[in-house]
Structure 1
Amino acid sequence: MSAREHILSRLKQTQIPSAAPLPDVAAWFEGRQRNENISERKARLKAALEAVHTEIHEVTPANWTATLVELAKQKGIGQVLIGTDTPHGAQLQATDCPDLKLIEYTQPIDTWRDLLFDGVDAALTLAMGAVAETGSLILWPTPSEPRLMSLVPSVHFVLLDVDHIHSDLFSAMKANHWENAMPTNALLICGPSKTADIQQTLAYGAHGPKELVVLLRQSTGDLS
């Protein structure tokens, strides 16, 4: 028997171990559920986001656009980038805001890169949900609201419905069936962009928006 045949014979005689069983992730999280109501999840999320300099405003379906316009005025914002053909973008366009220019993301980035990077003060995107446990906003980029909207402008307005705050990431993934349609980019945002140098001096806006403003929109059923 040649050396090659000897090696092949040993390989064929090797017992292939059976695959280890997959962990029961659902059972692990089920045993650690907090069983919180919406108000408790909202409180945890707010505390986590505010701890990292996120600005939060509780709004209603009726006044969130007026709140955004007023905040833009206070911050000296002249232009807000909105998505293309989005319901919340249409709501903002229907609001009386003569001093605020709304720019739709309708062109390929190559045709208006200079304006996006140098001429747009802020952007508005809708959050798919949020994770109370980690204080994270879940953004689901689409052709209507590309990822650059949450990365380039200095101020990032995020509209978040209170009903979409989940206790943990697993709950969010399960509720939205992530296993069926994962996007190219699923973003978890935990505050404004920040970095620190070797002397541990913290600076905001180095790699993205220096301000994160969350409009926490309560559901109609919560109004009293």
Structure 2
Amino acid sequence: MSARDRILAKLRAHQAPQPLPTPDLDVHYAPRARHEDTATRLARFKAGIEGFHAEVHLCAADGWIAKLEELCRAKGVGSLIYGARTPAGAALTSTGLAGVALRAWEGQFEELSADLFHRLDAGFTQARGAIAETGTLILWSSAEEPRTLSLVPPVHFALLNARQIHPTFFDALRNERWAAGLPTNALLISGPSKTADIQQTLAYGAHGPKELVVLVINAEEGAAV
């Protein structure tokens, strides 16, 4: 028997550990979510993601576009790419941003790559939800809002509904029924781009967005955060 055959035989003979039954997982994670209201989850999420150099701004549900316009002006953002065929994108198209050239995502990546990498200042996406325990945004890419919008432009603006912040990753998987189907890409984002490749020193903004800015709506219960 060759070395290859011996390795394959060991792999075939190995019994993979059985996953814990769902009721056991529910019992384990339930105490973490107990008694947590929107304000508590928002506070934990905000503390976590700000610890990784992201910005969080609380907005009224009808005031996020004005806040986005204000932030673009403060950061010198003159152009922004977004998915026009999403609910938030449709609102942006209707209202516009004073002083900002809006670029709707359309066409193929190859047709947009030069602008994405060299001309556009920011990308805008909706967040599917967030995880309070780790300070993490959840983004599900789609044809209307591809992952490129959050991974390439120097500034990434993300719109998050405070009511969609889950206590833990397990709660997100369970509550949103991820097992029933996932997109091609599910993104978990906890801050701007970073790397420790050079002398194991953590550096932010080495590739991808140098800034992550989260606009949180429906945060009335956590308005004092």
Q: TM-score range by the shorter chain?
A: 0.7 to 0.9
| Residue of structure 2 in register with 1:155 after alignment | 155
| Residue of structure 2 in register with 1:9 after alignment | none
Question: 1:211, 1:95 → 2: CA distance?
Answer: 24
Question: 2:56, 2:219 → 1: CA distance?
Answer: 16
Verify: 1:184 aligned to 2:184, yes or no.
Answer: yes
Task: Return the match for 2:25 from 3, 25, 28.
Answer: 28
| Residue of structure 2 in register with 1:13 after alignment | none
Q: Quick check: 1:66–1:95 contact (8 Å CA) kept in 2?
A: no
CA deviation map 1:63-84 (0-9, x unaligned):
1000000100000000111103
Question: 2:94, 2:108 → 1: CA distance?
Answer: 25
SS of the residue 1:94 aligns to: helix
Structure-to-structure mapping, 1:31-50, within 5 angstroms: 31-33=28-30, 34=32, 35=34, 36-50=36-50
Q: For structure 2, which runs of at least 5 residues remain unmatched after alignment? A: 1-12
CA deviation map 1:27-56 (0-9, x unaligned):
224333321111111111001011111100
Deviates more, 1:120-129 or 1:32-41: 32-41
Name which one, 1 or 2, has greater alpha-carbon Rg: 1
Change (3 A) 1:110 1:168: same
| Residue of structure 2 in register with 1:209 after alignment | 209
Deviation of 1:200 (Å): 4.5
Verify: 1:106 aligned to 2:103, yes or no.
Answer: no
- Aligned-pair identity (%): 45
Question: 1:143, 1:192 → 2: CA distance?
Answer: 23
Structure-to-structure mapping, 1:2-151, within 5 angstroms: 21-33=18-30, 34=32, 35=34, 36-151=36-151
Q: Quick check: 2:96–2:102 contact (8 Å CA) kept in 1?
A: no
Q: For structure 1, which runs of at least 5 residues remain unmatched after alignment? A: 1-15
Question: 2:56, 2:76 → 1: CA distance?
Answer: 18
Question: 2:205, 2:17 → 1: CA distance?
Answer: 45
Judging by fraction of residues, say which structure has more helix. Answer: 2
Deviation of 1:210 (Å): 0.6
| Residue of structure 1 in register with 2:193 after alignment | 193
Deviation of 1:219 (Å): 6.0
SS of the residue 1:32 aligns to: helix
Report the residue type matching 1:94 in the other structure: S
Deviates more, 1:202-211 or 1:158-167: 202-211
| Residue of structure 1 in register with 2:5 after alignment | none
CA deviation map 1:97-149 (0-9, x unaligned):
33111100111011121111111100110000001111110000000000111
Report the residue type matching 2:194 in the other structure: K
Report the residue type matching 2:203 in the other structure: A
Report the residue type matching 1:152 in the other structure: V
Change (3 A) 1:32 1:69: same
Deviates more, 1:212-221 or 1:174-183: 212-221
Q: Quick check: 1:61–1:220 contact (8 Å CA) kept in 2?
A: no
TM-score (norm 1): 0.85
